[in-house]
Structures are given as C-alpha cells and as structure tokens.
C-alpha cells in the first residue's frame, strides 16, 4: 500500500450511533481540508485521519488491530463522543479508558487501555483556554471501555442535543483535537477525588503536568496492586502519581506510597 498507509496518524474516531461524535467529526471536516486518502473510507489531513464506524465506541475493543488491517498506523486514537450526565450538567470532558472493576460499559473487567497523558492533558488545557459559556471543562476518571492498546482518550460534549450542536462547544473541542500535542514531559496516574476529579483537573491545568488514568474514590474498593501496576504500565511515559490526599482512602494512600517509594516514582500530594 502506498502514500498515506506509510504515515503514522492521529486517528479521530466517529461512531455513527453517537450524535455528538458525528457533530464533532462534521465540524472538523468543514473547517479543515480533509480529503479521501489512499485508504478506502478514510479521510486524511496532514497527520490526522478520520475513521468512521457503525459500531458504538464502547464496543471497539482492539481497534488498533482493525486499523492495522486497513494499513493505518495510529500514534494516538481520539474518540469523539457525547457525554452523559444524569444531573444534565453541560460539560466538555476528556478521559482515559478502562474498567477498574466490572465491565458495565464496554472493555473487560479489571483491564485498562493505554492512556495518552500528553495529548489528553494538552486537549484539556486548550479547551480551558477557549471556554464555552455554561459548560464545565474537566477531566473525568477512567470508567469505561473500549480496551485499546494504543495511547488513546475520549473527548466529549454533554449532555443534551442542543449541547451536541452548540457551535461554540464544537469549535472549542475541534481546536483541542486538532492542536493537542504530547510535550514529552511524561505522565502521571491520578488517584482520588470524585468522578470529575476537580483537584486533579485544576492542578494539571495550572501546573502543566500531564495526567492519564484517574482512579476516583468510587473505585477504590476494587483497586488492587495488580490494577495499579497495570495503570502504571499503560500510562505513556509514566513518571509518578498525583494524589488527591483527602479524597483517597487510607489503605490506597499507603499502597501508592509504597509503590512510589520502592520504584522511585514521583508522588505529588494535593
């Protein structure tokens, strides 16, 4: 295969059952000169490729194998998605993928994907630099599939139809997708706090450190040494832990302290 097949792409994933995914993808192709490449069905622009699927994102386990079959080499995979909130909170979010316990929403039990702290944290900061009135812009904790062994993350708009079509939200998310980059400074695993990890989010935004997997207090009952080790191994360029100290159970604090001490990883307590 010639041409585009030899390029390593940032792959943007559109899921046709997801209205927000389609809106983000459409906005990006309307504002950037994507073209049909040498790979059938794939739109390309520079180092970016758009992969469209009739599957739900949550069911795309092993997507890198599908992409390899098409001749696509992903450097990172960015899932364009809607965000759901029972409280109907309007949000723009980014998060790594995986299940700390049960697999209720895609993926596999006690398996996490490879996170991409550099690109994901960069995307969060770009969105914060381009705020949208009425929208929270935040990390989310790691909480659902699919399972992907390429650096990857979700970027989402939530939570209602009018939000998915909000032009300011689409513009901000598109800027983040098309301008995020990995600064090579390494990545941290966040530990503690609530699902939206406010302390970890603010620290990452203000300090410039990059965070991948975030293990909220809601999953600490399922958190084992094996899963924590897996999060370390599946965090690109892992450097250490960023811990919301008061938002972390005592036994988990000790577990993280021991791992950091034994392996000489950094531990930042906030």
Nearest to 115 by CA among 81, 79, 90: 79
Look at residue 135 in the predicted model and tell me its pLDDT: 97
Per-residue pLDDT band for 4 (boundaries 50, 70, 90) equals low
**Pairwise pLDDT comparison (235 vs 161), residue with the higher score:** 235
What letters, b where the CB count within 10 A reaches 16 and e where it falls short, cover 123-158?
A: bbbbbbebebeebbbbbbbbbbbbbbebbbbbbbbb
CATH class of 3-269: alpha beta
Look at residue 19 in the predicted model and tell me its pLDDT: 95
Look at residue 40 in the predicted model and tell me its pLDDT: 79
Region 53-59: mean pLDDT is 96
Whether residue 6 is predicted with pLDDT greater than 70 in this model: the reply is no
Share of the chain above pLDDT 90, in %: 90
- Is pTM, for the whole model, over 0.85? yes
- How many whole angstroms separate alpha carbon 177 and alpha carbon 182? 12
Whether residue 133 is predicted with pLDDT greater than 70 in this model: the reply is yes
Look at residue 21 in the predicted model and tell me its pLDDT: 98
Whether residue 82 is predicted with pLDDT greater than 70 in this model: the reply is yes
Span of 30-44, 198-212, 235-249 with lowest mean pLDDT:
30-44
What letters, b where the CB count within 10 A reaches 16 and e where it falls short, cover 166-192?
A: beebbebbbbbbbebebeeebbbbbbb
Whether residue 3 is predicted with pLDDT greater than 60 in this model: the reply is no
Per-residue pLDDT band for 159 (boundaries 50, 70, 90) equals confident
**Pairwise pLDDT comparison (221 vs 6), residue with the higher score:** 221
Region 88-101: mean pLDDT is 95
Alpha-carbon distance values, 127 to 66, 92, 117, 133, 243 (Å) = 30, 8, 15, 12, 23
Look at residue 84 in the predicted model and tell me its pLDDT: 75
């Amino acid at each position: 295969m010639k041409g585009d097949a030899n390029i390593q792409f940032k792959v943007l994933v559109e899921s046709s059952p997801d209205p927000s995914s389609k809106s983000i993808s459409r906005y990006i192709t309307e504002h950037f000169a994507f073209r049909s490449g040498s790979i059938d069905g794939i739109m390309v622009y520079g180092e970016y490729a758009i992969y469209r699927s009739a599957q739900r994102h949550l069911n795309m386990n092993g997507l890198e194998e599908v992409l390899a079959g098409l001749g696509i080499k992903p450097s990172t995979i960015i899932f364009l998605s809607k965000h759901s909130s029972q409280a109907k909170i309007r949000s723009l979010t980014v998060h790594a993928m995986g299940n700390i316990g049960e697999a209720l929403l895609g993926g596999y039990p006690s398996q996490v994907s490879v996170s991409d702290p550099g690109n994901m944290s960069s995307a969060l900061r770009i969105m914060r630099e381009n705020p949208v009135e009425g929208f929270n812009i935040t990390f989310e904790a790691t909480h659902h599939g699919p399972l992907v062994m390429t650096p990857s993350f979700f970027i989402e708009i939530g939570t209602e139809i009018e939000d998915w079509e909000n032009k300011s939200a689409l513009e901000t998310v598109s800027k983040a997708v098309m301008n995020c980059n990995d600064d090579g400074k390494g990545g941290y695993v966040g530990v503690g706090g609530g699902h939206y990890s406010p302390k970890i989010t603010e620290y990452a935004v203000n300090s410039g450190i990059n965070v991948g997997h975030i293990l909220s207090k809601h999953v600490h009952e399922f958190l084992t040494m094996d899963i924590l080790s897996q999060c370390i191994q599946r965090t690109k360029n892992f450097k250490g832990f960023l811990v919301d100290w008061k938002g972390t159970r005592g036994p988990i604090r000790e577990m993280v302290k021991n791992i950091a001490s034994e392996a000489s990883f950094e531990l930042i307590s906030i």
